[in-house]
Structures are given as structure tokens and as C-alpha cells.
Amino acid sequence: MNLRTRLAIAGGSVVVGALVLVSVVLYPAVEANLRGQIDSSLVVAVGQAPAVAMAIKAKYRMSNAEPDFPAVPLGIGSTQLQIVPDPVRIGPSTQFVDLTARDVAVANGTATAYFRDAVYNGVGYRVYTAQFPGSPGVLVRTAIPESDPVPTLRELAWLLAGSTVAAGGLAALASRLAARRVLRPVGRLTETVELIRTTGDLAIPIPADSRDEIGRLGSAFAAMTAALDESVGAQRRLVADASHELRTPLTSLTVNLELLAENLADAQAPLLAAEALGQAGELRTLVNDLVDLARYGQPAFHTEDVRLDLVAERVAARAARRAPKIEFELTCAPTLVHGDPDALERAVANLVDNAVKWSPSGGRVRISVKAGILDVTDAGPGIPDSDLEFVFDRFYRSPAARAHPGSGLGLAIVRQVAEAHGGTTEAVPCQSGAILRLVLPVCVEHAEPR
């Protein structure tokens, strides 16, 4: 069952339920209203009893006879009127409804008038018993057959039933037509998503024209496919670049190992083994950089407030131990950022290692931290202006850099970490050396230098 049919059934069911509820309330209300009207007409008929009695007396006066009220009720329209001058015989009656002690009490004025339902000759009556107006001891009873309102109630029942069924059908039809129109954008969105699934082309535009919930859904799908397309493209580029970078050291390592296997007694064997170990180390470094690049592209599992200036001091101290011929100069102000401490330390270490690699023996590496900006300046040959925008790209290595060891991923990891923390990276133009900058959002800024 499709969604349009379910909406049609739901719409029709709601209308039918509402009308059934209205019918359940309306039918008893109409029935009670009709009964109230009958009771009112019975009371009015009692008020007309003196006029009826006078008419009977006048008839007997014209015939010079004593007036004798008939025991059988008189029919006035659908209303039956019975006058009992001396209601003393309590019990069954062949003329009308039986007399009771309560009827006698009403005639004597010791009980109030009342209504009751009774059956006479197989016909149900609504009976009103009261004292004859102005004549204590005289009883008057009016009655109306209970079958009188039945046709009206039957017509009302059929009307309510027919209206409920017809309204339910019309509501279901209208709901289906409305659902077809409302769900048309959903159908187009579904067709587009199915086309993307079939073709695998994430660049297919997703319709998101309206501003309602369906438009928001389309915008969310469009954003999702765009992010997925970018992720897939980045993955393909990474695989292509990694395969290209891995091919050269693997080929060289294979050649050296083959030469070693041909003649282990060769005098060049130690040199070949050393080169093989060096190339294996380069491969290990490249693989580790690839793993870090993928890891830092994901949300951090642990974040906290980090003193960026203290991170820079720790990284500089380690670098000074590894490169004793390089001088380090630090200008760090207390700077608090929020992020993954391991990722931030790796990014700062990559910047410092890059500066150490390009600085000559006896050169100076300057590290500056202030207001969320970390600058690392080396004493190397500098970066051509044409290469500044590519420095932080993955696997990018300028012609001069290809003579130095490295995978071309260190600065790409720096950019990845910066973007994961809402920051940026930049290669700042300068006359001598190179200035690489890492900018991160600051939690608390301290202006006092250390």
C-alpha cells in the first residue's frame, strides 16, 4: 500500500470517526428533544381539558340530559384525552390505561402530576396524569403514542448513516487527490535518489525548490550527496596520489632486495641493505602519515582546552634535542584553544620539523604564538610565490623539495588538523626563509607575553 492510499484511508477514517461521534451525540439529543416536545404537548392538552369538558356539557345541555363523561379517551389529533370524574376504582381498565393509587392521589391533590410510559392494546403511550384544572377529585390523563417520533428518528438515523458514509468517501477521495499533489515533490526526490543509486553519479542535482519540510528534506539530501561526492573525490585523489608516491620507493626497495638475493657475498651488500632499510623507513613514514591524514579528517574523540603556547614549547624542546645544530627562538604568549591535544601537537610538530628540514646548519627557527596564531619561520631558501598556495596540498613537493626526504603529507596533515578545529593555514610571503602559519579559534586570550 503506497503512501497516497494510506493518507486517503487516514483522511476518510478521521472524517468517518468525527461524524460517528457527532451522530452518537446528536441522535440521543434529538430523541430527548422530541420526547420533551411530546411532554410539553401533553401538558398543553391538560390545560385544554376544561374547554373539552365545557363542550361535552353543552352537548348534553342541548339534549336536556345529565352530562356523562365518556370512559374511553377522546382523540384530539394524535393526543388522547381522558377525564375521570370519580377515580375510586383502582385496577385494570378496559377503556384505557389502568388506574393506580398514585392516580387517585393526584386527583385528590396529595400527589403531583407525573409522566409515565404505558401500553394499551399493544400500543405504547406516553401518559401524563394530572388533577383536572380547578376541580379537586377529578382526574385528567393525556397520552400520545410513542410511535409518533419513530419515523422522524428513523429518518434521522438513515440521514446520519448516509452522510457519514458519503462524507467518508468524499474525504478519502479528497485526501488522495491532495496527497497526490503534496507528495509530487517527494516522488521527484525519490526518482532522483533512485537515479543516483542506479548511476552512482553523486553530481546529479536534487530538486529542493519549496521552503516547506519537503524542501528542507531535498536540501538535506543535496547537502549530503555533495558532502559524499566531495568525500569520494577526496578518497579517489588520495588513493591515486598515494599509489603514485608508493610506487617509487617500492620499486627501489624491490631492486635492492633482488640485488642482495643474487649475491649476498657482494661487497655492495651492506650498502644495498642500508638503502633498503632507509627506503623501508620512508615507506613506514609515508604509511603513518596516510593513517594520520585519514584520522585527523574525522571528528576528534577527545577534546579539551589546550595551551597552544605550551604545546609549541614542548615540540621545540624535542626538536632541539634531535637537531642540536639548529637554534630555536620562542616568543609565546599564553593562548588557550579547544581541540584534540594529540592532533594539535602533531600539527605543530610537523610545522617545526619542516622548518628544521629547510634550515641550514647553524640556522635559526623562530616560533611565535599569540592570539591563536602560531607562526614558524625557518632560515631556508624560501618558497617561490607561485608555490605558496600549494604548500599545504597533499603530496605536493616543489622541485627543490624532491631532493629532501619526506612524503609530502606533513603540511597536509597540518591543514587537516586546522580545518577539523575550525582554523586555517597559510604560507606567508617573506623576503628570506619561509613563514608557515596556523590559525585556531581562541577560547581565552592572554595578552601578557611569557
**Is residue 44 one of the residues assigned to a domain?**
yes
Q: Provide the terminal-to-terminal Cα distance of the chain, rounded to the nearest Å.
A: 72
| Residuewise pLDDT in 10s, the chain (450 residues) | 676 677 777 777 887 788 888 887 877 787 777 778 888 888 888 887 787 777 766 765 555 545 555 566 777 777 888 887 777 666 666 668 778 888 888 888 888 889 888 888 878 888 898 888 878 888 888 888 877 677 777 787 888 788 888 877 887 777 777 777 766 777 777 788 888 778 877 777 777 666 777 777 778 878 888 888 777 776 666 666 666 566 666 777 777 677 666 666 667 677 767 777 666 766 666 666 666 656 555 555 578 899 999 999 999 999 998 888 899 999 999 999 999 888 899 899 989 988 998 888 888 999 999 999 999 999 888 888 888 888 888 766 665 555 455 556 778 888 988 988 899 999 988 878 899 999 999 985 444 444
DSSP assignment of 67-132: ----SSPEEETTEEEEEESS----B--SSSSPB-HHHHHHHHTSS--EEEEEEETTEEEEEEEEEP
* Interatomic CA distance for residues 68 and 261, integer angstroms: 147
**Is residue 122 one of the residues assigned to a domain?**
yes
Do 7 and 147 lie in one domain? The reply is yes
Which of 109, 130, 151 is where one domain is finished? 151
Q: Measured in whole angstroms, how far is the alpha carbon of residue 346 from the centre of its chain?
A: 40
Do 282 and 320 lie in one domain? The reply is no
Do 117 and 229 lie in one domain? The reply is no
DSSP 422: T
Number of domains in the chain: 3
* Interatomic CA distance for residues 289 and 293, integer angstroms: 6
Burial class (CB in 10 A: 0-12, 13-18, 19+), 127: buried
Contact present, 253 and 279 (Cβ < 8 Å): yes
**Is residue 124 one of the residues assigned to a domain?**
yes
Find the angle CA(30)-CA(31)-CA(33) to the nearest 5 degrees.
Answer: 60
**Is residue 292 one of the residues assigned to a domain?**
yes
Do 10 and 126 lie in one domain? The reply is yes
Do 146 and 215 lie in one domain? The reply is no
**Is residue 175 one of the residues assigned to a domain?**
no
Q: Which domain holds residue 290?
A: 202-296
**Is residue 330 one of the residues assigned to a domain?**
yes
Burial class (CB in 10 A: 0-12, 13-18, 19+), 189: buried
Do 214 and 318 lie in one domain? The reply is no
DSSP assignment of 252-276: HHHHHHHHHHH-TT-TTHHHHHHHH
CATH of the domain at 215: 1.10.287.130
pTM value > 0.85: no
Which of 263, 296, 329 is where one domain is finished? 296
DSSP assignment of 389-404: GGTTSTT---TTGGGS
Q: Which three cell numbers stand for residue 98?
A: 389502568
**Sign, Cα dihedral of 69, 72, 73, 74:** negative
Segment holding 373, helix H or strand E? strand 373-378
**Is residue 115 one of the residues assigned to a domain?**
yes
Residue 70 one-letter amino acid: P
- Spatial CA neighbour of 286 closest among 231, 241, 342: 241
Helix (H, G, I), strand (E, B) or coil at 170: helix
Do 46 and 133 lie in one domain? The reply is yes
**Is residue 358 one of the residues assigned to a domain?**
yes
Positions annotated as catalytic residues are 244
